[in-house]
Amino acid sequence: MANSGQHSSNGTRTEPFPSLDNASPGGNDTNPPSPIDNRPTASSSLSGRLRSASKSFEVSGPPEGFMAATGTIASSIFSRQTVARRASETSIPMQTGRSVADSSRSNTFPIVNEEPPEEKTSSSVTSPKRNFTGEPAAAAPFDNGYHFPPKHSAGQSTKLGLIAFGHYVRTPLGFLVTIYGLNVVAWGGMLFLLLCNASPAMCHPTCNDINSPRRKWIEWNSQTLNALFCVTGFGLAPWRFRDLYFLLQYRVQKKEVALRRLAGIHRGWFRLPGSEQIDPQIGPRNISSAPHLNSSLACPYPEDKIPDAPLTGVRAPATPITRMDIVIWLMVWNTFLQCVLSGFMWGLNRYDRPSWSTGLFVALACIVAALGGLVMFIEGKKVKGIEGVPISDEDMKLLQEDRERGVWHYNNIKDKDLAAEEAKKKKKAKALGLVSKRRDPGRLPPSSRPDHRPSLAAGPRIMGLAYNTYLNSSKIYGCKTCKAHLANHEDIISRNFRGQHGKAYLFHSVVNIETGPPNERNMTTGRHVVRDITCRQCKETVGWKYDKAYESSEKYKEGKFILEAELLCNVT
């Protein structure tokens, strides 16, 4: 190759040998391909793009409307940090591949192992785990070292809120949502002032004259607000009706994968049944290490939409599926009401349009959108109150300094002594006569359990023949699904409990149940070790059993059972 351009021995110049890089079997075929050969390729490319766009749309989160964005920001106001932190700087070893910020941040080095690496904790990391003299159990960090941020003053909270809003408004979507919200507030405020006759100079010849400046400006304001509401009402309609389609698939066709898709789309505030049993170290980046979750109802679909691993090491309990029904139907009704409002505004002129139509449908559309945002805010706050929110370096330093000085911060999102608040509520209820002294859990002596031995007499046929533990009492609580006996009315300790589905009862003993594995949960009254209990006959979860309570004021719960009132029925 190198000598191909040199003279040969006989003095004649030879042709250079063709380079191997340029040699190809079809190198001499210079005819361009016919246009007909390109058509199948272009068609397959177009169909591939359409399939890719369709799959992306199925799992994409809907662009947040003004109310939904407000609820999301409000529920995560403390989770936005002033500076970005590396995963190694956190006080929780398992935070790698877990936080929302980390999931969206690109790595400098390629990831080889998808298992969460074990980090070498320094003294600054392990120091929160040290025991301090006099520290209440409710103020101690979690086993992984995590502690909720301390409570901030009004000025600090305002500063954090402004910083969070500043980060949000600098994003393209945040900027557009902010401009949209300012327009809604400005035009809506002007319409309110006009309706209140705040400008008498516009009442010429009279305030209600159809040709008065006041009535004209009311019309212009109403049309502008209608156009603004159409942006969210019609612009978000594809995502809203997609969610409705998945919801109807689950409700009508009983397709669990549809509910899993919705859980992945609304992963910020919705938790699937059984998701609290998933290993707390499993997150989107290492979900491949748990292949058994691919077909589990507890895991969203696709699997990489699983919520980030909880900072506290405790996953939030399942969100009632009715909350998903409420949010989706409220958003769909917002679109329907916007259609009706647009029909009145565009189909009728201001002379023929009924005066009540504009105010009625504007108010209804705003109310349903606000209620949907409120539900997302409340449920998102519940999830963050259990799974934790990221904590800044300044807050970590403040917590450590306060612990060394003997200033305790309670380890919950409110930074309050929840057990003391619960005791205060019970004392107030007792003073009002709402709690009987005989059944007050705080005053129950150890020997207060009534002797109710289960009767082995023949029970109702609807219970089945496999389980023959029947109760004999004037009032019996049974499983709402299969009517199996669960507990006697006389075994109730207290009715002042809240479960995952609303009201719940505390019982001395229950029958016909199976207990699950123990797991530690951070509840509203403190940390407990509990076991989920299921009906032996239909396998439905009906409540939980308290194995251990860390708070001294909650020790009376140990060995007792909680049954959800919504999952019970009266068996005669």
CA angle 548, 316, 517 (to 5 degrees): 45
Distance CA 233, CA 334 (A): 6
Best mean pLDDT range from 66-70, 153-157, 253-257, 456-460: 253-257
What is the per-residue pLDDT for 54? Answer: 60
205-212: long-range pairs with CB below 8 Å, 24+:
210/350, 210/351
Has residue 439 got a pLDDT over 50? no
Query: What are 369-402's pLDDT values in tens digits?
Result: 999 999 999 999 999 999 998 888 888 888 888 8
Residue 57 C-alpha from the chain's centroid: 20
Regarding pTM above 0.85, the answer is no
Instruction: Answer with the residue of higher pLDDT: 83 or 564.
Output: 564
What is the per-residue pLDDT for 155? Answer: 87
Query: What are 108-125's pLDDT values in tens digits?
Result: 333 333 344 443 333 333
Verify cis geometry, omega within 30 degrees of 0, for the bond prior to 117.
Answer: no
What is the per-residue pLDDT for 52? Answer: 63
What is the per-residue pLDDT for 417? Answer: 81
Contacts of 42 (CB under 8 A, 6+ apart): none
Distance CA 205, CA 200 (A): 11
What is the per-residue pLDDT for 85? Answer: 38
Query: What are 411-427's pLDDT values in tens digits?
Result: 888 888 887 788 888 87
Mean pLDDT of 333-337: 95
Best mean pLDDT range from 119-123, 236-240, 301-305: 236-240
The DSSP line for 315-374 is PPPPPPHHHHHHHHHHHHHHHHHHHHHHHHHHHS-TTTS-HHHHHHHHHHHHHHHHHHHH
What is the per-residue pLDDT for 70? Answer: 56
Q: Which of 27-41, 42-56, 505-519 has the lowest mean pLDDT?
A: 27-41
With cut-offs at 50, 70 and 90, classify the pLDDT of residue 83. Answer: very low
Q: What's 90's DSSP letter?
A: S
Q: Which of 120-124, 138-142, 156-160, 176-180 has the lowest mean pLDDT?
A: 120-124
Q: Retrieve residue 413's tokens.
A: 């999102």
Cβ atoms of 273 and 298 closer than 8 Å: yes
What is the per-residue pLDDT for 93? Answer: 38
Query: What are 93-105's pLDDT values in tens digits?
Result: 333 333 333 433 3
With cut-offs at 50, 70 and 90, classify the pLDDT of residue 107. Answer: very low
Query: Of all helices (H) and strands (E), which one includes residue 95?
Result: none
What is the per-residue pLDDT for 496? Answer: 81
What is the per-residue pLDDT for 359? Answer: 84
What is the per-residue pLDDT for 475? Answer: 81
With cut-offs at 50, 70 and 90, classify the pLDDT of residue 49. Answer: low
What is the per-residue pLDDT for 462? Answer: 42
Q: Cα dist. 382→39, 299, 412 in Å? A: 55, 19, 11
| C-alpha closest to that of 524 among 216, 316, 346, 306 | 316
Contacts of 527 (CB under 8 A, 6+ apart): 137, 138, 520, 521, 550, 551
Mean pLDDT of 5-19: 45
Domain architecture of the chain: domains with CATH? 63-101+120-416 (no CATH), 461-571 (2.170.150.20)
What is the per-residue pLDDT for 552? Answer: 79
Between helices 213-235 and 321-347, what is the axis angle to 10°? 140
Place of tokens 């407000």: 70
Cβ atoms of 519 and 530 closer than 8 Å: yes
Distance CA 267, CA 271 (A): 7
Query: What are 508-533's pLDDT values in tens digits?
Result: 889 989 999 998 887 877 788 999 99
What is the per-residue pLDDT for 368? Answer: 93
Has residue 7 got a pLDDT over 50? no
Q: Cα dist. 327→125, 233, 266, 369, 500 in Å? A: 40, 14, 10, 9, 18
